[in-house]
Amino acid sequence: MIMSNIKKIHIPPILIVFILISFLTGTFFELGIILSIVFIHELGHFMMACFFKWRIRRIMLWVFGGVMETEEHGNRPIWEEALVLIAGPFQHALIYLAIFIMSSIELLPASILDLIFYFNTVILLFNLLPIWPLDGGKLLFLFLSGQISFKKAYHFIILFSMCISIFLLLLQLWLFPFTLSTLLIMLFLFMENRQEWKHRYFVFMRFLLKRYEGESSISGIKSIILPHNSSLMDVFSDFRRQKKHVVYVIYPDHKRIMIDEAECLRNYFYFKHYNKTMGEIADSTG
């Protein structure tokens, strides 16, 4: 299983551009250190995901970070996803330990160890930025999705990430000397989130489909109260992770009918009642 997942490592075009630039500028050794640290970082995510038996689609490597794409779409417990995310930054602590040991026994020259220390720190801090799909952005999304609905949390983190990417890009151009690498990285992050925003409907539908298939982790109950003329999508927009929902449909005469979330999902995915109101669905189930 591990070997089959390792074969799914993907190198995007932007990384090839950086490799070519490093050859032309004589910085291939430095890039090799960076990519080694990134690989070790992603290995932390990978090993923890394998421990929890996640279905891994591919691992994408790029300068100063990487992305592990899985088949788990908001259906795992928040604490489990947090452990998979934290496993990446934890690898940097192990790298610091390795630097200390190598320095003590003088295994490598101090100049090389200083370079490893510098890149290890930069990559760690970069990955903790609150930008999707960096670890910091995903941790922020996990926190938000525990407080508000999945849809609202997902929309917020993507829009917030695009704004932060542009802000950091402008800040770098205004306050610091121009560097092509920073420009490319920030543009890459912005474009990644722009693409993610275009696919937001499909991400949300995947989340709902996992709920319908019964693959989601549940640890509590939360009520949803909506008027009778609401749609099924209005109900789903209030769905939270790890919560089982009881939907109360309120009529003009203050009559109230309760519907289980499973019935709502069944009406949408099985019966395909896309245009029916909650009042009509409640009357038919009652």
At 72-128, the pLDDT tens digits run 777 889 999 999 999 999 999 999 999 999 999 888 899 999 999 999 999 999 999
At 254-271, the pLDDT tens digits run 899 999 999 999 999 999
Among candidate residues 122, 98, 107, 104, the one with its CA nearest the CA of residue 38: 122
**Which residues, including other chains, have CB under 8 Å from residue 184's CB and lie 6 or more apart?**
14, 17, 18
Domain ranges of the chain: 1-128, 133-217, 219-285
Least confident of 13-17, 143-147, 175-179: 175-179
Average pLDDT over residues 40-46: 93
At 183-229, the pLDDT tens digits run 878 888 899 899 999 999 999 999 999 899 887 888 889 999 999 99
* pLDDT for res 26: 75
User: Which residues are part of the catalytic machinery?
Assistant: 42
How large is the C-alpha radius of gyration of the chain? Answer: 23
Query: For the whole model, what pTM was predicted?
Result: 0.87
